[in-house]
Amino acid sequence: MKLFVFDLDFTIWNAGGTWCDSTHPPFAWKEGKLKDQENRWIYLYPEVKEILSELKAEGHMIAIASRTNAPTIAKQLLHMFEIDHFFDAREIYPGSKLTHFDRIMKELKVAKNDIVFFDDEYRNVEDIRSIGIESVLVTNGLTKDLVKPYLTRTIARDLPQSEAC
Ligand SMILES: [Mg+2]
């Protein structure tokens, strides 16, 4: 079992080319697209729901570490996208992500070696790497390819037949 920790803006979702703190709620679904009051289209990266389901199916834990200035908006979006139930911990507020991780590790009682973190901002990746946690820079939204190396089942499947047993 591992703990997967994800950032929100530009990792899990794209809030219409900006951060969710710059959107204008309330949000509403229009023709299958989530829009804010300025008709900005906010979307999950295409593989996110599948990734979250797969992690849960493998028995992993999932947490959010977001330093957004608009926690209320972020929580609304988690609800609107119907992904809120996937997360075992949600640390959503401004500040250094070191604080977010400190709280996540205490809450979920997971050791640093069993955690992997995904974020689109290098400063966050750098902060979390500095305390010895595996951290992955996300350049174009979260994808299966980024998560795959950490999925035990996928790794086992990828082994040649002779080595698998
Ligand atoms: Mg981000």
The model's pLDDT over 52-101, given as tens digits with 9 standing for 90+, comes to 999 999 999 999 999 999 999 999 999 999 999 999 999 999 999 999 99
Q: What is the CATH number of domain 3-12+48-164?
A: 3.40.50.1000
Ligand 1 centre from 138 Cα, in Å? 9
Ligand 1 centre from 64 Cα, in Å? 11
**Residues 12 and 6: beta-carbon distance below 8 Å:** yes
Instruction: Calculate helix-pair angle for 122-129, 97-108, nearest 10 degrees.
Output: 50
How far is residue 6's CA from residue 45's CA, in Å, rounded to a whole number? 13
Q: Could you give the 3-state DSSP secondary structure of residue 119? A: strand
Instruction: Enumerate the active-site residues.
Output: 7, 9
How far is residue 74's CA from residue 7's CA, in Å, rounded to a whole number? 11
pTM of the complete model beyond 0.85 = yes
Give the residue among 104, 86, 79 at the shortest CA–CA distance from 20. 79
Ligand 1 centre from 148 Cα, in Å? 20
Hey, where are the domains in the chain? 3-12+48-164
